[in-house]
Amino acid sequence: MDTPAVRSETETVEASGQSLGYVILLSTITAISGFLFGYNTAVINGVLLFLRRQFAPSDLDAEIAASAVLVGALLGAAAASVIGDRYGRKKSLMFSAILFTISPIAAAAANTVAFFSGARLLGGLAIGLASVLTPVYIAEISPSKHRGALVSLNQLGIVIGILAAYLSGWGLSGFGENSWRWMLAVAVVPSLIFFGGLFAIPESPRWLISRGRQAEAVRTLTRLVGGRAAAEEIRSVQTASADEQGSWSEVFSGDMRKRLAVGALLALFSQVTGVNAVLYYGSVIISEHFPGQSTGMALASNVIIGTVNLIATLVAMVFLDRWGRRVILMTASGGMTLALSCLVIGLNVQGAPLALMLASILAYVAFFAFGLGPGPWLIISEIFPTKVRGRAASIATSILWSGALLVTFTFLTLVNVLKLWGTFAVFGALSLVCFLYVWRAVPETKGRTLEQIQESWGK
């Protein structure tokens, strides 16, 4: 409701037009969590080579070590809605920054695989919290016509973090058998930068409105979009929120089921199509399944994969708000299907050029980064109403992490049972199913405000 106090507050705050630069600054600070997400998940790719030599774990132990961070991420994502809705987006992200700082120190000091896994689980909690709250926060402060690119800053942070992890693994691998400790420990520096940067960001104005703190919300919105637009947005958010209870019963209400299905299935498809098999086990795949490849060559190949991942993500950020979400997702899932088909054929043809198979892997990663990397995070942050956005996004993100855990925990076992080509054939089939699902069921959200998206789902 537009009260005189709100109008007065709007009129007293000086603003002129939309401050896109300020929004970009806030989004960039918040997206440092994406860098930490990417680094802390992908660093296992290089670390695992040294752990397998130093501690001689079984395949199961190696899968546990690789998956521990994902178990933590699943738990953190499940708790994110309660923490984020109760304490706000800003304070919750600060808590994740503290966990991001503690985890790499503990993991680097580990002397057993069990201790290592426990420390990595702690970092996973931070990743889970941030993976839910960062896209939600950025979506809640972003103007509709730039929201796709701004939310994708988080995905950009993730892929930069992945590339940094691969560069770290490659560059530090010459420090001896304890190189893996340094690979982990260097993550403390960006963690502290993230923690310090969060002091400069305001709380989400939409969260403030949901808590009845309109005056604070107006001050933030005025700086984000200007005084007149702030008043209009306050009215829009209040109208959209008027009948929302923000309870778990509303999250699972009839109006929400289709949205939950879209968010959850896109999240699941982004993982069960297998990208983490390459991102987390790439060095193992190359060194153990492609003859004549040394550890150094495997780690260098990771850097090439990470570079392609980054370039494709930058391209996606340009086109998400131009082409729309559906076209991007269909292009990505269709391209992944074709790339994996080429890889499977190459793995079954004796004497197939190694370059062809590596090119297929790179194309697969590129198509993923173009669509299924940023797309699900963006749609999850857009399609849910304000008062249940945290809870609904938490459910969808928990399912995403469940898919990531499933692939990471079973990959080595699947390769033993189905061989490498059979495992990637499964991922290719799931990529095709994803293409068909997006074509039939996923709506377009490009160019709409969060409130307009909510209204369109209600029709």
Domains and CATH numbers, the chain: 18-201+243-457 (1.20.1250.20)
Which of the 8 DSSP states describes residue 173? G
Which of the 8 DSSP states describes residue 251? H
Query: How much is the average pLDDT of 189-198?
Result: 97
Residue 273: pLDDT band (50, 70, 90) is very high
Give the other-Cβ count within 10 Å of 99's Cβ.
21
Is the distance from CB of 98 to CB of 132 less than 8 angstroms?
A: no
Write down the pTM of the prediction: 0.77
Query: How much is the average pLDDT of 330-350?
Result: 94
Length of the chain: 459
In order of 105, 108, 118, 119, 433, the CA distances from 114 in angstroms are 15, 13, 6, 9, 37
Q: Taking all residues of the chain, what is their mean pLDDT, rounded to a whole number?
A: 85
Alpha helices per DSSP H over 31-58: 32-42, 44-54
Indicate whether 403 pLDDT > 50: yes
In order of 77, 252, 311, 423, the CA distances from 359 in angstroms are 34, 43, 15, 18
**Percent of the chain scoring above 90 in pLDDT:** 40
pLDDT at 178: 86
181 vs 454, residue with greater confidence: 181
Residue 64: pLDDT band (50, 70, 90) is confident
In order of 76, 136, 166, 370, 438, the CA distances from 280 in angstroms are 20, 26, 10, 19, 26
Task: State the angle between helix axes of 325-348 and 354-367 in degrees (0 to 180), rounded to the nearest 10.
Answer: 160
Which residues contact residue 396 at a Cβ distance below 8 angstroms, ignoring those fewer than 6 apart?
260, 263, 264, 266, 267, 376, 380
Which residues contact residue 159 at a Cβ distance below 8 angstroms, ignoring those fewer than 6 apart?
38, 306, 309, 310, 313, 369, 373
Query: How much is the average pLDDT of 176-195?
Result: 93
Cα 397 from Cα 376, distance rounded (Å)? 9
